[in-house]
Amino acid sequence: MNVTQASVLEKFEAPLRLREFPLPTHLEPGAALVRTEMAGICGTDVHLWKGELPISLPVILGHETVGRIEQLGEGLERDWTGQPLRAGDRITWNSATSCGHCYYCAEKRQPTRCAERRAYGIGYRCDQPPHLLGGYAKFHYLRPRTHIFKLPDDLPTESVIGAGCALITAIHGIERTGIVWRDNVVVQGAGPVGISALAVAKASGAAQVIVIGGPKHRLEMAKRFGADHTIDINAVRDPAARISAIRELTGSHGADVVLECVGIPSAVVEGMEMCRDGGKYLILGHYCDGGTVSFNPHVVTRKQLQIFGSWSSEPRHMKAAIEFLRAHRRDFPFDAMVTHRFPLDQANEALSTTAQWDSAKTVLIPNA
């Protein structure tokens, strides 16, 4: 029997362990076996490792992955866009799949809220076949109905993983909120989601995009991505001072659109105050339950705020992300986000680099 290796989360807050798993001997119809080229470490992985999301262990983490097709199951001939698939093709895929026929999938067209939705690297235990359902592994099994995307030859793997799940999350959130040409936009947060939101806002025609965040290396990355102004939260520590800085930069009105990409509850109270009257506020960074915050609803009424939420992404956002990355490689250097690379047996070092915000983006190269 052929065996392969994966890094496994067996216990919350304990080191990941390198484990051996059998390679599948045959594939289900519509499935695929992929040799992992690069797996992104997402901030969510840190939350998962700490046990902040309700998941069942053991799990192979990793929900941002690029690999090459090793083997195709019967009947799997084309990717989500209709391009033919062959062994050796470089592909990525949506980590989550929805059922396609429930109330939210079919009737309300909110497939991200499907009750049957499960994601690679999060929602599958690895102690049951086919085991290999996460990116921190040398091989990845793709179940039937996975949304697969063949990558164009001129788009580097670093661009796809550098953008990771952050870009598709930002595309979805901004699609719901809407940015009008010449809008003043504020992005709260300079992590991967904030940088992605900045890129999408710039490409949507924003007049200026102001990024609030830290530490310094993240704000420098924001400048590389075209941020018109940055506000360092470590230098401007008082929320009231940050709110008045935004007012000054927006002709005393406040921003047309504020995009929250932080995940800290108090940022929401602050961000709503940064909106102009009749402005729009998107809460995008609270994928994990960060707890509650008290706020005055009078602010929402008086300012006539529109408040939006957005969860994960749909396959069409991945298609859009790949086209966006290809079209804007010079303007938005997502490949430069990949600052730290580790082999599979150093997955713990990779995870702690991400946890400490040392990197823009850390990746695993499992077959290095």
- Chain residues binding Zn ion by CB under 5 A are 42, 44, 98-99, 102, 105, 114, 165
* Among 366, 367, 350, 365, CA closest to 43: 350
CB of 165 to Zn ion, least distance (A): 3
9 neighbors 59 (Cβ within 8 angstroms): yes
**CB closer to Zn ion, 165 vs 322:** 165
Among the residues of 304-360, which ranges form H helices? 315-327, 347-355
CB of 368 to Zn ion, least distance (A): 22
Q: Tokens 């709110």 belong to which residue?
A: 243
Dihedral over alpha carbons 180, 184, 187, 192 (to 10 degrees) = 60
CB of 179 to Zn ion, least distance (A): 23
* Among 17, 20, 18, CA closest to 4: 20
For residue 146, the one-letter residue type is T
**CB closer to Zn ion, 92 vs 230:** 92
**CB closer to Zn ion, 99 vs 336:** 99
> Rounded distance, CA 364 to CA 362, Å?
7
**CB closer to Zn ion, 165 vs 221:** 165
CB of 161 to Zn ion, least distance (A): 11
**CB closer to Zn ion, 42 vs 258:** 42
> Rounded distance, CA 333 to CA 325, Å?
9
**CB closer to Zn ion, 171 vs 274:** 171
CB of 313 to Zn ion, least distance (A): 10
* Among 234, 226, 225, 233, CA closest to 337: 225
CB of 98 to Zn ion, least distance (A): 5
* H helix or E strand, kind and range, residue 69: strand 65-72
